[in-house]
Structure 1
Amino acid sequence: MSLKRRLELLEKKANYLDSGVKIPQDFKKFNELIGLPISKIPPFKELPIFGYEMDIISNIETHRDYALNKARGIGATEIILRWILFRAVQNKIPGRKFLIVTGIRLGLARDHIKRMINLCYNIPGIIKQSSQYNITINNSEVIAIPANPAAIRGYENVEVIFADEAAHWDLLDDDPVLEAIEPHRTKSNAHVIVVSTPNGRRGFFAKIFHNSESKYYKDVKPWIISEGLLIDRVEVEKVQKEDYYRFEQEYNCQFLTVRYAAFPPEVLAILQSNSMEYQLSD
């Protein structure tokens, strides 16, 4: 880190931490305090909070039932973790819970908690206790938990439930997980945030986006919104050329059937349209 950047951070700390931690009420200014995101490619420079990222945050704050179908690599998880930290630091309700559900991928759960701990570096003393799967921040607890319905139901006083990469949990039936998540909306007026890239047409994530009467605010963020910011068009076009299915799902937010399905969707559509002509009889 350059000397200039260190001096800037010290100045910010002097402004906000003179008699204890004083957190900006503005989300963008909060990110300036904790440190802006860093590019994942050389020269690893600081990046601003982009307009489409602020749009995600605005939609989360406006709609407590929120589902995001997003392209990989647009920084959605990063910005949502930052918002969760922002809310956790501001929270005044003792024992308020912020749950991060990562399916059966415990490594991802640890990574998310570690990322949030690192974001607290520029707010000395804000973390009261931490472990691989839990952080206590002032009055709040941020907890990474498995996609286990019993575990999810066991928590009270929940502010946020963030279901990350929900279409990739590799569960035979993930409906019970969502059924365990949703009651927290009425129990504690929690924000329910469901985020993923598509992974076929099965699972509750796909059902949300194919149900015209779903209560969720359905947000779609394809790769093009981050072109030239976090995503390189040349790399995306390379994927598009080499692997159509991967491009359409991971970058273009399309729900495709399994690549090697026994019956293509076109055949199934024809069968369904003609089904009334072929009634079974005793």
Structure 2
Amino acid sequence: MSVPSIIVKQDIETDVQQFTNFLYRWSPEKQCLIIRAYPGLTDAVQQGEETGEKLIGNFVREQYRLHQAQIEILVADMTLQVRKDGARVLEVLGTIMEYSWPKNDSGYTVIPTLLPFSPFHQPVFFFSLERFLRTNASSVASNYGLTAVIAHEVSHFIFFDMLSQMSEEVRMKCDQTIKHFVKEILAPIIMNDSRINGIIHLTDYGGNPFLKHIMLRQGEREENIVVFFRAEYERQHANGISFKIFVSYLIETLFTVQQDLHKRLTLWDTHGSSLLKETGLKEKYCEPIEIKK
């Protein structure tokens, strides 16, 4: 199978812009994650964006200066990991998702970031160095390391391309909320597949943290949303049903509970994991969503 290239590219100014975007123009949950990792940004965020943007830029550039030696080691290791396993991860992803890249595909770029999470903007995705710097690590080949992030993010890109080729009826049901849930449910389903699992050094991956406490109920069956659809994927796969048909089924099923999913996503984007500490919010978030048979 022919697969596109993956290149590692350090870009400090792009990372500075990512910090500004997530601190001012994204969800409160992302802002909290950044402030928790970098309390020194608290005052900058309280300023207006014009003043705060300069303070944020100075802060992020200073972090790069302070940790330059370790960042260089980690970025070199990122390049090594991509050369070693990048193509293999893409090949297995293509096999699992029954997908072939177009011959003129321009490939993917992975940019190291100091953010405490790894965002993406197709065909670019970011890889967080924050925990590696915090723990003085010298390699990114760890639990949920670079190869796992490649598998996770590229699975999103493949899904987006598959969606663009589906019927208008299916696409119309896949609004931003449904699209977000589908891509984040598919990622752990794929990454727990035995065909890729050993390459990415990850077992029993639960996916994006916001999915962990979302439950589904169907008759007497009550399960976590990822566990529920992973079991259905394995059943369909064993019966020879194509991956694309499974994705259509996933979209159709989630569409029937669209409002319930939207409410939970809004809660998470507003409060993040702190909602689990507030009884009322936790009950709303964890209340099982009824799925019809």
Question: Which category of TM-score, normalised to the shorter sequence, fits these structures?
Answer: under 0.3
Larger Rg: 1
Calculate the TM-score normalised by the size of structure 1: 0.25
Calculate the TM-score normalised by the size of structure 2: 0.25
Bigger strand fraction? 1
